[in-house]
Structure 1
Amino acid sequence: MFGLVVKFVLKDQASAQGFDALVAETLPKIRQSEPGTLVYAVHEVDGEPLQRVFYELYADRTAFETHEEQPHVMRFLEERGQYLESFTVDFLNLQDAKGVAR
């Protein structure tokens, strides 16, 4: 399995609303059309209203690459920048888990 964590810091409250709307448009399409995307969890950070954390888990690296090529994901990647102060990405290799068949 292949995963990543992305931490987004948004510019301001208006940017947070725009970013959340973009996520709300994108996530249903991920659910519907990406069987190799096992987990795509979007989190608000308690006490940090301008931060969002994504946890993504894919069946393998190929599933992640397929995800990145989807039109709805490409649109998200193109449009997210207008809302962001910064972001970081950490790539993960799953060692063990509850709730995910290995």
Structure 2
Amino acid sequence: MLTVVAKIRAPKGKGDALAALLKEQVAAVMQAEPGCIVYRPHRSTKDPDVFVFYEQYKDDAAFDAHRKAPHLTAYRERREREGLTEGKAEVEIFRSLTD
């Protein structure tokens, strides 16, 4: 099992718009990706423009399918077009020590 933790930041004042897009993305991922076990965004309680994703995939193939999914491409394109993130995402991938 793979766990992905990703942190992204919205430009000041665009946190609500990014939150709405993230909720749409969750629905698309969970509907289209059977290998995705958890896909959950979280919003900072200190800074409403900071978000962390917690994702789990059953295996490497499921994570690879996620990265190539058309809905992920569409999400990224919309995020860019609408200027909903700033800076580079911080992404860390973990492999489970137990099954």
Bin for the TM-score computed over the shorter chain = 0.7 to 0.9
Aligned to 1:36: 35
Tell me the alpha carbon deviations over residues 9-40 of structure 1, each in whole angstroms, 9 at most, x when there is no partner: 11112x21221121122211111121100111
Calculate percent identity across the aligned residue pairs: 30
Deviations 1:45-87 (A, max 9, x none): 1111110000111011110111122221111122223211222
Q: Residue in 2 aligned with 1:99?
A: none
Aligned length: 96
More displaced, 74-83 or 34-43? Answer: 74-83
What is the one-letter code of the residue matched to 2:59? D
Return the TM-score normalized by structure 1.
0.84
Match of 1:95 in 2: 97
Which ranges in structure 2 are unaligned for 5 or more consecutive residues?
Answer: none
CA distance in 2, matches of 1:24, 1:54: 11
* Residue in structure 1 matched with residue 76 of structure 2 by the alignment: 77
Q: Which runs of 5+ in 1 are unaligned?
A: 97-101
Which residue type is aligned with residue 85 of structure 2?
L
Q: Secondary structure at the match of 1:83?
A: coil
Once superposed, what is the RMSD of the aligned Cα atoms? 1.4
Q: Aligned equivalents of 1:92 and 1:77: distance in 2?
A: 23
TM-score (norm 2): 0.86
Q: Tell whether the 8 Å contact from 2:11 to 2:85 is kept in structure 1 after alignment.
A: yes
Q: Which amino acid aligns with 2:96?
A: L
CA distance in 2, matches of 1:55, 1:25: 16
CA drift of 1:4 comes to 1.0
